[in-house]
Amino acid sequence: MSDRPPPLPPFARLTLVTAILGSAMAFLDGTVVNIALPVMQEDLAATVDQAQWVVEAYALLLASLVLVGGALGDRLGRRRVFVAGVTVFALASAMCGAAPTPALLVAARAAQGAGAALLVPGSLALISAVYPKSERGAAIGTWSAASAMTGAIGPVAAGYVVMRASWRWLFYFNLPLAVLVVVLSRRVPESRDETEAARMDWLGAALATAGLGLVVYGLIGSSAGGIGAPRTLVLVGSGLVTLVVFVVAQARVAHPMVPLALFRSRTFAGTNLLTFLLYAGLGGGFFFLPFNLIQVQRYAPPQAGAALLPFVLLMSVGSRWAGKLAARVGARPLLVAGPAVAALGFVGLAMPGTGGSYWLTFFPPIVVLGAGMTVTVAPLTTAVMGSVDVSHAGVASGINNAVARAAGLLAVAALGVVVLARFDATLDARLASLQVPASVAARIAVERRKLAGADIPSDVAPGLHDALRSAFDDAYVAGFRGAMATSAALALLGAGAAFVLVAPRRRAATSA
């Protein structure tokens, strides 16, 4: 009888349910928006730049503020900040659903990102504060499993909603869920860490947001004048200088958002470099894939969502196995092999042209990519957490999460430059061979900034209409192949970083 575990504190299970439901809003928005983007683009007549900002505005605020959100919860109360995040997220979701223009949708998405920066770290903090150490692992495992299920359901549900109703409902669904979370939160005990009272690095947050924002703004805006345009160079250069200032400031402030001392561990530095490279390839690749499936391959939105299911299911089912394997052989071999396999998946995604069976074109590389990420993710988390002292585990996890989100943020902008360059070169060659009349060419020039979502003039001859549609499709495939090749290179560089920097098993738990 003495070995029986102590009873759970009051409201522990309610806290777990509340945390799961709250974080589900942010996780769902991370999976459903990409599937709906091609439909949003068509409905709002948005350019590819504006479609990128629908994703980037959210990612920018979340990546740069997520560490501040965690610290704010420690200082003001984790439940209070969590509820504030849910409320902001819900109000921003209503704005997203009602947005009549791309610009207002982007602004609302930025507000969503700010809410998510308060909400996401708060969900795990609530669990950690309520559950005793002996039960905490199982509770977080339940939270992780629920997150995986959300990721699996999200793309398919999004495709169905978009086809049967409207993409706007993807945002409106957050409102009743937010009300439920707020009501349940009233019975969740409050907690805070008084030792963290002074640790609010607002300067670091401002510099990170400004630096990342300038770089992303410059890269996305390069479609107007090219990557070498003075405006682009000034914006990107200013952003890079701001990020350097951010690093310098982190080394000098008393309580930095990102303690640079942690990077003295080669394994911590290596795993975060791997995270940046691999998640850059993944985030950028998965931004452009739905456009290929829906606008070029003519998949219905539910089919496009279902096309990604093998990836999500492999991650859901195999991550636990990968974690056990890492415990036996060490993380390093898996952190080299996993990204290398993922690179093969990206190469496979670059192979299909237009048409063909899903099972022979996109299914095999999506499975390979999913296998590579499955082998990588759990060992990566283990290596990150094991590379620093236990007292720094929370901030180490937060930094790694922020690195992953910043990687996706920058990759969507940078790969957009690759896609656009390849798209323009291919489309120009095709249009030259078609000898398009000047009046039609002028209208096509306006539409080309929508890439594969361009509206071909309906009053041209049927033969020319089909040829123009084919030219846009082939041009997008060329751009997509460039993005996938870049993603494959990033994944291979990540494998190299793990091989060089991550310590072998006998040293993996030792901080340098």
State how far the Cα of 10 lies from the Cα of 348, in Å rounded to an integer: 51
Q: Quick check: 2 pLDDT over 80?
A: no
Convert the pLDDT of each residue in 450-499 to its tens digit.
Answer: 999 999 888 888 899 999 999 999 999 999 999 999 999 999 999 999 99
- Find all residues with CB under 8 Å of 293, minimum gap 6, and list them: 299, 303, 304, 307, 362
State how far the Cα of 401 lies from the Cα of 307, in Å rounded to an integer: 26
Helix, strand, coil percentages, rounded to 5, for the chain? 85, 0, 15
443 CB-side CA count, 13 A: 12
**Nearest CA to 215 among 194, 234, 197, 188?**
234
Convert the pLDDT of each residue in 178-191 to its tens digit.
Answer: 999 999 999 898 88
Give the count of beta carbons closer than 10 Å to the beta carbon of residue 134. Answer: 9
State how far the Cα of 429 lies from the Cα of 431, in Å rounded to an integer: 6
Token code pair at residue 34:
């990409």
pLDDT of residue 491: 98
Classify 330 in phi/psi space as left (phi over 0), alpha (psi -120 to 50) or beta: left
* Cβ atoms of 373 and 311 closer than 8 Å: yes
- pLDDT tier at 137, thresholds 50, 70, 90: low
- pLDDT tier at 201, thresholds 50, 70, 90: confident
Query: What is each CA distance from 476 to 254, 449, 482, in whole angstroms?
Result: 49, 11, 10
Q: Do domains 1-187 and 261-512 have the same CATH topology?
A: yes
* Cβ atoms of 115 and 85 closer than 8 Å: yes
pLDDT of residue 1: 46
DSSP single-letter state for residue 300: -
Would you list the domain boundaries of the chain? 1-187, 202-256, 261-512
Domain 261-512 CATH assignment equals 1.20.1250.20 = yes
Convert the pLDDT of each residue in 294-334 to its tens digit.
Answer: 999 999 999 999 999 899 889 878 877 888 888 889 899 99
189 by Cβ neighbours in 10 Å (0-12 / 13-18 / 19+) ranks as: middle
Q: Quick check: 511 pLDDT over 50?
A: no
pLDDT of residue 510: 43
Share of the chain above pLDDT 90, in %: 57
pLDDT of residue 195: 61
Q: Quick check: 41 pLDDT over 60?
A: yes
Convert the pLDDT of each residue in 383-439 to its tens digit.
Answer: 887 888 866 766 787 888 889 989 999 999 999 999 999 999 999 999 989 888 888
> Mean of the pLDDT values across residues 249-256?
88
- pLDDT tier at 5, thresholds 50, 70, 90: low
Convert the pLDDT of each residue in 334-386 to its tens digit.
Answer: 999 999 999 999 999 999 999 999 999 999 999 999 999 999 988 898 888 78
DSSP single-letter state for residue 294: I
pLDDT of residue 179: 96
H-only helix segments in 229-362 = 230-252, 266-291, 301-307, 309-329, 331-349, 358-361
Classify 352 in phi/psi space as left (phi over 0), alpha (psi -120 to 50) or beta: beta
State how far the Cα of 143 lies from the Cα of 19, in Å rounded to an integer: 8
State how far the Cα of 495 lies from the Cα of 90, in Å rounded to an integer: 39
Convert the pLDDT of each residue in 427-441 to its tens digit.
Answer: 999 998 988 888 888
* Cβ atoms of 409 and 276 closer than 8 Å: no
Superfamily in which the 1-187 domain is placed by CATH? MFS general substrate transporter like domains (1.20.1250.20)
Q: Quick check: 512 pLDDT over 70?
A: no
* Planar angle of CA 273, 34, 495, nearest 5 degrees: 20
Task: Between 68 and 181, name the one with better pLDDT.
Answer: 181
pLDDT of residue 81: 92
pLDDT of residue 507: 45
Computed over every residue of the chain, the mean pLDDT equals 89
Query: What is each CA distance from 270 to 12, 384, 385, in whole angstroms?
Result: 36, 9, 13
Give the count of beta carbons closer than 10 Å to the beta carbon of residue 249. Answer: 18
269 by Cβ neighbours in 10 Å (0-12 / 13-18 / 19+) ranks as: middle
Token code pair at residue 366:
């999506």
State how far the Cα of 477 lies from the Cα of 291, in Å rounded to an integer: 10
* Cβ atoms of 239 and 414 closer than 8 Å: no
- pLDDT tier at 285, thresholds 50, 70, 90: very high
**Nearest CA to 498 among 288, 266, 327?**
266
Q: Indicate the pTM of the whole model.
A: 0.89
State how far the Cα of 136 lies from the Cα of 127, in Å rounded to an integer: 7
State how far the Cα of 123 lies from the Cα of 24, in Å rounded to an integer: 10
- pLDDT tier at 75, thresholds 50, 70, 90: confident
